[in-house]
Amino acid sequence: MWRYCAYLGRGDDVNDLVQETYARALRALPRFEGRTTGRVWLLAIARRVCADAVRTAQRRRALETRWRRERQPTNSSETVTIEMLLDGLAAERREAFVLTQIVGLPYASAAQVCRVPIGTIRSRVARAREELQASLRRQETG
């Protein structure tokens, strides 16, 4: 759960995201119907928690970016990290990649978490891999 929130939360306090996930799960426990495993159910809740946190952070970052632009020049010599590469992916592809390749969820379970067909998860992961490889090649060639 922590790793999933760490990659989807994009810079928010991961411990807060995990705690919020479990708090929402406890509130929703009476409504849990058991149609999926508990793990898939918790990951679906974590997905919504992270999405809420990302939306809030985007609004905050927009204001901070505007303020920074006025105060100081940008630094173009930043190092590329895996987080930056993942940030370059579309949200749907990043989520599918993180669920299957980093969290280790089976494709079928990831499809349940994202509420999409399994084929959609497979294509998103394949496209994410292609994009990540292309980004790495561009970084290597300079």
pTM exceeds 0.75: no
pLDDT tens by residue, 64-102: 666 555 544 444 434 346 777 888 889 899 889 988 888
DSSP state of 12: S
Percent of the chain with pLDDT over 70: 80
What are the φ and ψ backbone dihedral angles of 130, each rounded to 5 degrees? -60, -45
* Domains contained in the chain, CATH given: 1-74 (1.10.1740.10), 78-142 (1.10.10.10)
Distance CA 91, CA 63 (A): 21
Q: What is the pLDDT of residue 113?
A: 87
**80 phi and psi, to 5 degrees?**
-85, 130
Give pLDDT, residue 78.
41
Task: Output phi, psi for 54, to 5 deg.
Answer: -65, -45
CA distance linking residue 51 with residue 60, whole number of Å: 14
Q: How many residues does the chain have?
A: 142
Residue with tokens 């089976």: 106
pLDDT tens for each residue of 108-123:
989 998 889 999 999 9
What torsion do the CA atoms of 77, 102, 10, 78 make, to the nearest 10 degrees? 0
> pLDDT exceeding 90 applies to what percent of the chain?
36
Q: Give residue 75's pLDDT.
A: 43
Please give the average per-residue pLDDT across 51-68, as a whole number: 69
